[in-house]
Chain A
Amino acid sequence: MYEHNGDRYFIVDSHMHYWNAASENWVPGAEQYAKGWIECFYAYMGLGPPETHWPMEKFMKYSEDDLMKDVFEDGYVDVAVFQPTYLKEWYKEGFNTTERNATMGQRHPGKFIYNTRWDPRDGEEGLKQLRHNVETYGSKGVKLYTAEWRQDSRGWKLSDPEAYKYLEACQELGVVNIHVHKGPTIWPLDKDAFDHADIDHAATDFPDLNFIVEHAGIPRIDDFCYMATQEPNVYAGLSVVIGALMHARPNFFAKVMGELAFWVGEDKMTFGSDYAIWEPKWQIEGFVDWDYPDTEAFADYPRITTASKKKMLGLNAAKLYGIEVPAECRLPEDQGTPGASEDAELVSGA
């Protein structure tokens, strides 16, 4: 919980990681990709405040103690959602697997939610694994990375028929929160890998699942906003939005938040620190203190109030994941419904 000016914020970090990118974990022959991936993450860290930067060695493999201190002790987080990224083509044990997260998390009861993942290219075997993971770890969500490499394939789409089999399984198993993360590659490679049309299709066809698009669709935030405003079950994950922009590009951060508040709405935006790319502490403190610059350019955007911030920092995700919120952190009923999908409708004549 974060307390500021007498207000209490229940914090759900809905997008964070416990990875191992140490060189011992690199797959022989794929070292350049394993190294390139973690270096790319490291450059993102550079967009946060300098005093929060880590040495590369720690960034590649941080400890359980580091995570518990940064996220819970110093970082105000009440509940954190582990989002796995496997990348087994490049990392021997995987970059950040459900198993690794759970093995660590089980030593800290009540602190973590274990999302798992699937990849439609894994076929029947993958479906079995999904069922096993849901049973073992109680997963209520998955993290999907559409640009993951698998043998000769450079990615997949949510609208692929094979992906629909997994979405059906998610529906059946009560895995309702589908976090989607787009990356730089796709099949075929001549298409825009960051395009969201496949999420749009899947969200329409699976109205009972929630699609949380991480980093709010950046680098296609315009397309994301226009889709999210039309699909009640599409949410904006704020990972990267706060981490990459609030400190480094405050003016663009304000515009991006304004666009999201306008098109998607404060009930459908969820905080995620993207730890260990960025620590949650400075993101939460900075965001609670944040307001639009006081200029004409921002006058038309919906206001982001203390109540809006409480929703984005925790109440919305608590709703999605069924997390009990302490009475002192809840909002009065007249301040909207956190996590509500009903508010979203096509904006016309705005």
Chain B
Amino acid sequence: MILASAQDRVLAALEAVRDPELDEPITRLGFVSSCTVSAEGDVQVRLRLPTYFCAPNFAFLMVADAHDVVSALDGVRSAQIVLEEHFASEAINAGVASRAGFVRSFPGEAQDELHQLRSDFVRKAVLAGTDVVCRSLLAEGTEPSALSAMTLGEVPPSPDRERLRARRAELGLPVDDASPLVVDPATGDAVGVTDLPLYLRRAQSTRVGVEANTGICRGMLRHRYESAGLGEENR
């Protein structure tokens, strides 16, 4: 393993780790403060968050996901993910390192693992992503009522469409080109003409919420840390 490119490979892998609330890669958000790879393939990634009190369950998911993607890389002998300067750093770092899961990492404080929490936020990402795709269709002249009958395949190809498809796949929702563009993120059912206006209105609120949260988190991170994170965008 050549060291410089080894670091690039680790960072590329970390692109797949998202902040579950913001639905953005931790790299682009500036959460990766450093990444080192030894000649033997021992990797250490240090992560940072916008505040000392960011919600511990989401923080745990990011550290655990980072551990999983880095460990899976060819040539990696060991992966250590260190969350810095967070009230629950110790519990999270130790819990992820020993693959203890969330409940055992926070004894007496949690009842379940975080699958439900993660799906709830992927559902929000589906809503927000549907708003992104539909809004550009409407801007180009598609009639609002026509959206109900459209399929994913009828949407002009774009990164936004593929991102929506990928989020739907994570939830096991239909993703083929013949599947409806607008679906209920809980059931996968098509959304009819009657329900469409309220659905789109809620999807817009969800997108505004995610965007506003992202704006606040980026601002807080910039205030907390002077230097850019590895792969950080829009600092």
Binding site for B on A (CB under 8 A): 32-33, 36-37, 39-40, 42-44, 46-47, 152, 154, 183-185, 187-194, 218-222, 225-226, 244-245, 248-249, 252, 255-256, 258-259, 262-263, 296, 347-350
Docked Cα-Cα span, A191 to B21, in Å, equals: 13
Interface residue SS majority, chain B:
helix
Indicate if B120 sits at the interface (CB-CB under 8 A). yes
Q: Is the CB of A221 within 8 A of B208?
A: yes
Q: How far is the CB of B145 from chain A (nearest CB, A)?
A: 12
**Total residue contacts A-B, CB cutoff 8 A:** 128
Q: Which residues of the other chain, A, contact B113 by a CB distance below 8 angstroms?
A: 190
Output the nearest chain B residue to A224 by Cβ-Cβ distance: B209
19 additional contacts, CB 8 Å, given A43-B51, A184-B56, A190-B112?
A: A36-B53, A39-B52, A44-B220, A46-B222, A47-B219, A47-B220, A154-B109, A183-B53, A189-B106, A190-B103, A190-B117, A219-B209, A249-B215, A249-B219, A252-B211, A258-B208, A259-B204, A263-B205, A350-B198
**A47 with B223: in contact, given A189-B57, A350-B197 (CB under 8 Å)?**
yes
Give complex CA distance A220, B223 in Å: 23
Minimum C-beta distance from B73 to chain A (A): 29
Closest A-B pairs by Cβ, 8 of them: A46-B223, A36-B52, A249-B215, A222-B209, A188-B111, A184-B55, A222-B205, A222-B206
CA distance A192 to B42 in the complex (A): 34
Nearest B-chain residue to A40, judged by Cβ: B51
B180 an interface residue at 8 Å Cβ cutoff?
no
Interface of B with A (CB < 8 Å)? 21, 50-57, 87, 102-103, 106, 108-114, 116-117, 120, 124, 139, 197-198, 201-202, 204-206, 208-209, 211-213, 215-216, 219-220, 222-224
B202 adjacent to A226 (CB under 8 Å)? yes
Bound state CA distance, A56 and B209, in angstroms?
30
Closest Cβ neighbor of A350 among chain B residues: B201
User: Contacts of B21 on A, CB cut-off 8 Å?
Assistant: 219
Show 12 A/B contacts (Cβ-Cβ < 8 Å), sorted by A: A36-B87, A183-B53, A187-B109, A188-B109, A188-B112, A190-B117, A192-B120, A225-B205, A252-B215, A255-B211, A259-B208, A347-B198
- Taking the nearest CB of chain A, how far is it from the CB of B65, in angstroms? 16
Is the CB–CB distance between A192 and B205 below 8 Å? no
Q: What is the distance, in angstroms, from B69's C-beta to the closest C-beta of chain A?
A: 22
Inter-chain contacts of A348 with B (CB < 8 A):
198
Q: Is the CB of A256 within 8 A of B202?
A: no
Given A190-B112, A350-B197, CB of A256 within 8 Å of CB of B208: yes
CA distance A47 to B218 in the complex (A): 10
